[in-house]
């Protein structure tokens, strides 16, 4: 397993996954935290729980649910207790993995280097495909991070994912285990069953007007309207401020000249290395002799790649000819930069000494890209300035409003101060909310139990700031009978059908004579009787929940099962048959992937029981 951990510690495979997760967490945020969490958050396994952790845990929970239920799934339809439990579960997972990764030493120079490389290669921090430190700093600062703080965040996430992936990918399944799995899943059953069709029974039911009105009056709670709310609002939109931005004289000219300098310096240089680790030798001098021997071989014309595979003590890169990918100033030590400064393509450096290692570098590739057209770059520089400054102007207006809001100014007073017109929303219920700005924070606030009318509330949504004030709350009321007549009809019919099914099931089971039972079944169109032979566990002949119940029993049992669609099954399980050895061997290969996943899930369950359930959770003022 330690080899697996080490193998996962480098390369683009994992860090790409980490960054895909990290960026939305940091830059998109979540709407749920304001209603779920308050105050100090405490620790898990000694790891501090921060607001950023809550953001990540919430978004991870949302992503997980969407992967199961589809992209249209809305996290906010869940009640607060369920949301809190899901977020807490993700928090524990997040922090337990991090504490384990830290204890095993995976937060180290290698993981920090990989984090920095991934940040540099992230499109959000680039201009024309080239990393821009100013953009990076502005992005992370605007979200409450320093440059080093964001590197720490990505490093922690990377190390945690190293630990998680190394565990769940350590699978080994024997042929015997696969054989056993196939034998279990491919068994069949012979059954005899009676079905009462819920829909068929409903079609037979006729309700009188008197029955319908009585049901409406006696079950009025079912026919109340939903609570409705509407609100007034103002929108501060960054685009409205773009026309107010003044571009300083010579700004574009000077910025373009700086851009060209950075562009010329950004030529991508790919390097490889041969490394000798001092700790592997009795003394520094013996380690130096080892690297000097390699250097001598290079001077005689020996192939660098072959020497790397033979002598390099970097187990990650030696099989790739010592390849370190493209040089980045913020990733590699300053000694590397100095060593390659005057090297041409395919030239090698002198011996480089670091605290713990010796290195020889080789330039393996130099990519000098042609700069984009001048006008294109200047337009981009101008647009970036306008975007940055218009956002700042919007924030200035918003900052000026904060004192008014703090002093309980009305939305009308704020509108006058901004010279804007107040808009009014439609009336919405929890289930039909479709405001033009699609952000769950708006819905959260509108339907929160703590909200009050005529109070200004602000929601910052990136390039838009919404100021809203709830106008009216319309309480639920009993809908007129004529408006809900069809609902009453359907509800009463389903109630009668359920009662009828229960009675018929009792009557059927009381008939002992098979001939009498068959006559009884044949006298109703919604009753049926059938025999199935060799039914498989995943057959489409019967509902999944019915099959699950069948294959959880033993032969000779008679069971009753309510299907999800309301149908009632009474099933006589005659027998189970396992597949023959020949049948198993024919499909054995098809089950290899399934067996791997099954073992992986089993390992995950063990990890959950052994590690996560023993987590030391100390969450203060965390409303979960």
Domain coordinates of the chain in residue numbers? 2-172+601-618, 187-223+482-577, 228-242+374-474, 268-367
In Å, how far are 75, 429, 430, 551 from 444, measured between CA atoms? 11, 12, 9, 44
Using an 8 Å Cβ cutoff, are 592 and 182 in contact?
Answer: no
Could you identify the residue written with the tokens 């409003």?
Answer: 401
At residue 452, φ and ψ (nearest 5 deg) are -130, 160
Range 565-569 average pLDDT: 95
- C-alpha 398/C-alpha 241 separation (Å) is 12
> Poorest-confidence range of 146-155, 188-197, 218-227, 298-307?
146-155
- C-alpha 275/C-alpha 294 separation (Å) is 10
- For residue 358, what are its two tokens? 């010796």
Range 209-214 average pLDDT: 96
- C-alpha 272/C-alpha 289 separation (Å) is 20
Residue 85's pLDDT is what?
Answer: 83
Residue 348's pLDDT is what?
Answer: 94
Assign 3-class secondary structure to 90-156: HHHHHHHHHHHHHHCCCCCHHHHHHHHHHHHCCHHHEECCEECHHHHHHHHHHCCCCHHHHHHHHHH
Range 606-615 average pLDDT: 58
Residue 425's pLDDT is what?
Answer: 97
Q: Is the pLDDT of residue 13 over 60?
A: no
Q: Which residues of 222-252 are buried (b: 16+ CB within 10 A; e: fewer)?
A: ebeeeebbebbbbebebeebbeebeeeeeeb
Q: Is the pLDDT of residue 14 over 50?
A: no
Q: Which residues of 93-124 are buried (b: 16+ CB within 10 A; e: fewer)?
A: bbbbbbbbbbeeebbeebbbbbbbbbbbbbee
In sequence order, what are the residues at sequence separation of 6 or more whose Cβ sits closer than 8 angstroms to the Cβ of residue 56?
Answer: 21, 22, 25, 90, 94, 157
**Three-state secondary-structure class, residue 47:** strand
- For residue 112, what are its two tokens? 């920090």
Q: Is the pLDDT of residue 46 over 60?
A: yes
User: Nearest to residue 30, comparing CAs of 488, 537, 345, 459?
Assistant: 459
- C-alpha 283/C-alpha 277 separation (Å) is 11
620 vs 50, residue with greater confidence: 50
Which band of pLDDT confidence, cut at 50, 70 and 90, is reported for residue 135?
Answer: confident
Q: What letter does residue 541 receive in the DSSP assignment?
A: S
Residue 589's pLDDT is what?
Answer: 78
User: Nearest to residue 545, comparing CAs of 521, 529, 569, 513?
Assistant: 569
Q: Is the pLDDT of residue 372 over 90?
A: no
Using an 8 Å Cβ cutoff, are 287 and 304 in contact?
Answer: no
Which band of pLDDT confidence, cut at 50, 70 and 90, is reported for residue 17?
Answer: very low
- C-alpha 22/C-alpha 159 separation (Å) is 13
Q: How many CA atoms lie within 13 A of 71 on its CB side?
A: 0
172 vs 132, residue with greater confidence: 132
Range 276-289 average pLDDT: 94
The model's pTM: 0.51
Q: Is the pLDDT of residue 597 over 70?
A: no
pLDDT in tens, 90-125: 888 888 888 888 888 888 888 888 888 888 888 888
Q: Is the pLDDT of residue 131 over 80?
A: no
170 vs 296, residue with greater confidence: 296
- For residue 216, what are its two tokens? 């409406």
- C-alpha 522/C-alpha 508 separation (Å) is 12
pLDDT above 90 coverage of the chain, percent:
49
Which band of pLDDT confidence, cut at 50, 70 and 90, is reported for residue 609?
Answer: low
Average pLDDT, the chain: 84
- For residue 269, what are its two tokens? 């240089």
User: Nearest to residue 372, comparing CAs of 128, 133, 134?
Assistant: 128
Which alpha helices (DSSP H) does 312-410 contain, by range? Answer: 334-340, 374-406
- C-alpha 293/C-alpha 311 separation (Å) is 10
Residue 592's pLDDT is what?
Answer: 72
pLDDT in tens, 323-332: 988 877 777 8
- C-alpha 307/C-alpha 303 separation (Å) is 6
Q: Is the pLDDT of residue 38 over 80?
A: no
At residue 48, φ and ψ (nearest 5 deg) are -65, 140
Residue 611's pLDDT is what?
Answer: 57
560 vs 76, residue with greater confidence: 560
Which one of 1.20.140.10, 3.40.50.10140, 3.10.50.40, 3.20.10.10 gives the CATH number of domain 268-367? Answer: 3.10.50.40
> Poorest-confidence range of 67-76, 384-393, 613-622?
613-622
pLDDT in tens, 484-524: 999 999 999 999 999 999 999 999 989 989 899 999 999 99
437 vs 624, residue with greater confidence: 437
Range 404-417 average pLDDT: 93
- C-alpha 56/C-alpha 78 separation (Å) is 18
């Amino acid at each position: 397993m330690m080899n697996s951990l080490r193998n996962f510690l480098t390369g683009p495979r994992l860090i790409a996954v980490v960054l895909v997760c990290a960026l939305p967490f940091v830059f998109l945020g979540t709407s749920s935290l304001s209603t779920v969490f308050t105050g100090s958050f405490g620790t898990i396994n000694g790891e501090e729980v921060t607001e950023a952790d809550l953001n990540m845990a919430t978004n991870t929970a949302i992503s997980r649910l969407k992967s199961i239920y589809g992209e249209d799934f809305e996290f906010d339809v869940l009640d607060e207790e369920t949301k809190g439990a899901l977020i807490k579960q993700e928090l524990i997972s997040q922090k337990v993995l991090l504490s384990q990764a830290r204890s095993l030493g995976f937060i180290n120079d290698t993981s920090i280097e990989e984090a920095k490389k991934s940040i540099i290669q992230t499109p959000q921090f680039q201009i024309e495909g080239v990393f821009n430190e100013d953009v990076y700093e502005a992005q992370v600062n605007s979200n409450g991070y320093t440059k080093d703080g964001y590197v720490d965040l990505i490093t922690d996430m990377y190390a945690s994912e190293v630990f998680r992936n190394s565990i769940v990918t350590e699978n080994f399944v024997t042929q015997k285990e696969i054989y056993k799995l196939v034998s279990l899943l491919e068994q069949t059953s012979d059954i005899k069953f009676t079905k009462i069709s819920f829909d068929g029974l409903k079609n037979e039911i006729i309700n009188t007007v008197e029955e319908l009105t009585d049901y409406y009056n006696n079950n009025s709670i079912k026919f109340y309207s939903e609570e409705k709310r509407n609100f007034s609002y103002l929108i501060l939109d960054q685009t409205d401020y773009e026309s107010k931005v003044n571009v300083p004289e010579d700004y574009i000219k000077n910025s373009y000249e700086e851009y060209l300098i950075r562009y010329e310096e950004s030529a991508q240089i790919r390097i490889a290395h041969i490394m000798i680790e001092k700790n592997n030798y009795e003394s520094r001098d013996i380690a130096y002799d080892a690297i000097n021997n390699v250097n001598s071989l290079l001077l005689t014309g020996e192939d660098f790649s072959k020497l790397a595979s033979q002598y390099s003590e970097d187990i990650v890169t030696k099989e790739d000819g010592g390849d370190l990918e493209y040089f980045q100033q913020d990733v590699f030590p300053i000694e590397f930069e100095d060593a390659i400064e005057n090297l041409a393509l395919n030239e090698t450096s002198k011996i480089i000494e670091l605290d713990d290692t010796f290195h020889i570098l080789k330039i393996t590739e130099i990519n000098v890209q042609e700069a984009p057209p001048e006008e294109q770059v200047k337009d981009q520089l101008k647009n970036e300035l306008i975007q940055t400054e218009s956002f700042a102007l919007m924030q200035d207006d918003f900052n000026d409003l904060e004192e008014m809001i703090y002093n309980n100014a009305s939305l009308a007073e704020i509108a006058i101060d901004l010279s804007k017109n107040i808009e009014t929303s439609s009336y919405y219920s929890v289930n039909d909310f479709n405001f033009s700005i699609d952000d769950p924070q708006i819905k959260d606030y509108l339907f929160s139990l703590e909200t009050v009318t005529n109070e200004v509330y602000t929601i910052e949504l990136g390039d838009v700031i919404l100021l809203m004030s709830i106008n009216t709350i319309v309480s639920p009321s009993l809908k007129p009978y004529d408006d809900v007549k069809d609902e009453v009809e359907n509800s009463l019919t389903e109630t009668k059908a359920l009662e009828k099914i229960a009675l018929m099931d009792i009557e059927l089971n009381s008939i002992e004579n098979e001939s009498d039972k068959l006559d009884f079944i044949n006298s109703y169109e919604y009753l049926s009787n059938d025999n199935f032979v060799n039914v498989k566990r995943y057959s489409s002949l019967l509902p999944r929940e019915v099959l699950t119940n069948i294959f959880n029993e033993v032969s000779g049992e008679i069971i009753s099962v309510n299907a999800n669609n309301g149908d009632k099954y009474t099933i006589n399980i005659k027998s189970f048959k396992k597949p023959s050895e020949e049948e198993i061997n024919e499909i054995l290969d098809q089950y290899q992937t399934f067996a791997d996943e099954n073992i992986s899930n089993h390992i995950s369950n063990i990890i959950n029981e052994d590690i996560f359930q023993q987590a030391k959770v100390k969450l203060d003022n965390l409303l979960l």
